[in-house]
């Protein structure tokens, strides 16, 4: 028997301690060179690109550290559960407060990408994609919840023009809420996720989320699309591979493989 509760990422007593832990987890994220481009300039550069061609440009910028400073301020997300024998366990994830974007805090473009690019960037940073259960936990813990904003379906969904327009809609929502850039934010994108289902769906990408409320994702777990598919609604939020189990640091792979506590993080 397993039960899980999600604790707020900003609970005052825990936020200070966990922020220190998550601060050290962010040390592997590279810092941008002085000549790094802003979001508007990057959008203009990739205006006529989509798919793997745009991914190549996204990959180059993110591997060079051209991402906003606020994404380096990892947010703690705490899960509590009771495992076999009745013992209570607390796991703290360190997650990026928003989805990956190119640019600065003042000028950023949220960038969708195919699974190969997302995995390469995650590995370069020492991070991983979240599981669907982590996506739910992040949404529940987020103090800033944005409404999904679907745009008309069609071939243009993969275009940079759609990506830019959706970015503008999200920015307007954030401005209306006066949300600080490093506040944990959720609800505005579908996540690329890690799931065992991909073992039986090679060459595919798994997406999940776009929550309208707790446990109310628009997008159930899906492996319909090929691995290189990406459209405006997709986002890549990374999770540190260092997690804290009852305050002790552990590698997330080992925690996921642990039959006692792994179910807290993945079905």
- pLDDT recorded at residue 14: 37
Please compute Rg for the chain using Cα positions: 18
Cα→Cα distances 62→41, 170, 188, Å: 15, 21, 21
Express each pLDDT in 198-231 by its tens digit.
999 999 999 999 999 999 999 999 999 999 999 9
Q: In which order are the strands placed within the sheet that holds 234-235? A: 217-222, 207-211, 190-192, 234-235
Express each pLDDT in 25-67 by its tens digit.
888 888 887 788 999 999 999 999 999 999 999 999 999 999 9
Is residue 121 within 8 A of residue 111, CB to CB? The reply is no
The residue among 159, 189, 133, 199 whose CA lies nearest residue 48 is 159
Q: Please, which residues bridge with residue 103 across strands?
A: 108
Mean pLDDT of 64-71: 95
Length of the chain: 267
Task: Compute the half-sphere exposure of residue 81: CA atoms within 13 Å on the CB side of its CA.
Answer: 19
- pLDDT recorded at residue 17: 39
| Residue 75: Cβ within 10 Å count | 24
Tokens of 132: 């669907």
Share of the chain above pLDDT 90, in %: 83
Q: What are phi and psi of 252, to 5 degrees?
A: -65, -35
Distance CA 198, CA 257 (A): 17
The enclosing H or E element of 45 equals: helix 39-45
Q: Please state whether the predicted TM-score (pTM) of the whole model is above 0.85.
A: yes
pLDDT of residue 8 exceeding 80, the answer is: no
Express each pLDDT in 119-157 by its tens digit.
999 999 999 999 999 999 999 999 999 999 999 999 999
| Residue 93: Cβ within 10 Å count | 27
Residue with tokens 């109310």: 216
For 154: left if phi > 0, alpha if psi spans -120 to 50, otherwise beta; the answer is left
Tokens of 18: 């966990």
- At 46 the three-state DSSP class reads coil
Mean pLDDT (the chain) is 91
pLDDT of residue 113 exceeding 50, the answer is: yes
């Amino acid at each position: 028997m397993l039960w899980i509760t999600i604790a707020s990422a900003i609970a005052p007593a825990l936020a200070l301690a966990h922020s220190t832990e998550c601060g050290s987890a962010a040390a592997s994220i590279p810092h941008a060179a002085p000549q790094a481009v802003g979001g508007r300039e990057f959008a203009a550069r990739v205006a006529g690109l989509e798919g793997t061609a745009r991914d190549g440009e996204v990959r180059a910028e993110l591997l060079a550290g051209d991402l906003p400073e606020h994404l380096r301020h990892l947010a703690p997300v705490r899960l509590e559960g009771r495992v076999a024998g009745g013992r209570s366990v607390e796991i703290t994830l360190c997650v990026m407060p928003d989805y990956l974007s190119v640019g600065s805090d003042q000028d950023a473009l949220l960038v969708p990408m195919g699974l190969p690019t997302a995995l390469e960037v995650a590995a370069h940073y020492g991070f991983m994609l979240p599981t669907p259960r982590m996506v739910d936990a992040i949404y529940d813990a987020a103090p800033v919840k944005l409404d999904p904003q679907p745009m008309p379906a069609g071939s243009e969904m993969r275009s940079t023009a759609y990506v830019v327009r959706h970015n503008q809609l999200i920015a307007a929502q954030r401005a209306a809420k006066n949300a600080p850039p490093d506040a944990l934010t959720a609800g505005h994108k579908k996540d690329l996720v890690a799931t065992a289902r991909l073992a039986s769906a090679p060459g595919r990408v798994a997406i999940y989320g776009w929550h309208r409320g707790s446990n109310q994702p628009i997008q159930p777990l899906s492996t319909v699309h090929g691995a290189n598919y990406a459209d405006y609604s997709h986002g890549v939020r990374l999770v540190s591979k260092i997690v804290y189990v009852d305050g002790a640091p552990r590698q997330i792979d080992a925690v996921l493989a642990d039959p006692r506590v792994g179910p807290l993080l993945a079905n």
